[in-house]
Amino acid sequence: MSELAFREPSFLVDAIRIARKDLLIEFRTRSGFLSAAVFALLSLAIFRFSWDPTAVTSVDLAPGVLWVIFTFAGLLGLNRSFNVEQVDRAMDALLASPVSREAVFAGKALGNLVFVVAVQLLALPTLALFFGLRVGPEWWGVLAVAVLAAVGFVAVGTLFAAVASNTRLAEMLLPMLALPFFVPVLIPAAQATSSLLAGRPLSEVLPELKILGAFDIVFVAACTLAFPFTLEE
C-alpha cells in the first residue's frame, strides 16, 4: 500500500461529500422526504377544510399554517439524518477518518438544508393553491425568507438531532430540545411571510430579514463549534 497518495483534508470538499452521500441515501430510500411530503400535504388539506373564510382571511391564516408545516415536516428529516449513521455505527468510521467533526456537521446540515428547502418548494405552491392566494412577485420574497429561516432552523436542528441520536428516545427528544431554539427564527420568518403575502414591499420586511440573517450567523457558528462535544459518550 506504500504507493497510496493522500490529499490534505478540505472542510468544504468533505462537507459536500457527506451531504451528497446523505442525499443519495435519501434519494434511494425516499423515506424521509415521502413522510415529510405526506405530512405537509395532509396538514395543508386539514387546515384548508377546517378554515372558515368568513372568520379569517387566507392571507392572515396562511403564514401560520406554512411555518407550522415547515417546522414539523423539517423535524421528520432532521430525525432521519443521524439515524442512517447509527444503524450500523457508520458514524464511528466517519469519526475515525481524517474528516473533521466540523465538516461532518456542515455536511449533515447541508444535506438537511436541501431536504428542508425541497419540502418548502413542495408546500409553497400547494399552500397558494389550497388557500387561493394570489401568485405574484412577492412569492420570491417569501421563498427568500423561507430559505433564510431554513439555514438557522437546520443548524439548530442538526445539532440537536446529533444529541438526540445517542439516546433511545431520539424521535421524542429532538422536538423537545430543538423547538424552543427554533422560536427566534420562526417568529421573524412568520412575520415577514405575513407582510409579504399581504402585498407589502420587500423593503418593509428588511428588519425581519436582518434578524433572520443575524440568527443564521450566530446559530451556524455556535452549532458548528458545539457539535464535536455532542459526539462524546
Partner 1 sequence: MPSATTPAVPSHSQRAGAWCGALVAEGVTRKYGGRAVVNDVSLQLSAGDCLALFGPNGAGKTTLLRMLGGLLRPTRGRVTLHGRELPGEAETRRLLGVISHKSMLYDALTVRENVLFAAECQGLRNAAAATDAVLEKLLVRDRANTTVRLLSRGLQQRVSIARALVHGPSLVLLDEPYTGLDETGARALTDALRALKANGATVVLITHNLSEGLALATETAIMRNGQFVHRMTRPDSEYDVTQYATLYRELVAGGE
Site residues (vs partner 1, CB under 8 A): 1-2, 4-9, 14, 17, 21, 24-25, 28-29, 84, 87-90, 92-100, 232-233
The residue among 62 and 104 lying less far from partner 1, judged by its C-beta, is 104
The residue among 78, 58, 80 whose CA lies nearest residue 70 is: 78
C-alpha to C-alpha distance for 92 and 23, rounded to whole angstroms: 20
Which conformational region is residue 30 in: left (phi greater than 0), alpha (psi within -120 to 50 degrees), or beta? left
C-alpha to C-alpha distance for 42 and 99, rounded to whole angstroms: 40
The residue among 101 and 200 lying less far from partner 1, judged by its C-beta, is 101
The residue among 68 and 95 lying less far from partner 1, judged by its C-beta, is 95
The residue among 86, 65, 84, 155 whose CA lies nearest residue 116 is: 155
The residue among 31 and 191 lying less far from partner 1, judged by its C-beta, is 31
What are all long-range contacts of 179-182, with beta carbons under 8 Å and residues at least 24 apart? 179/71, 181/156, 181/219, 182/71, 182/153, 182/156, 182/157
The residue among 31 and 43 lying less far from partner 1, judged by its C-beta, is 31
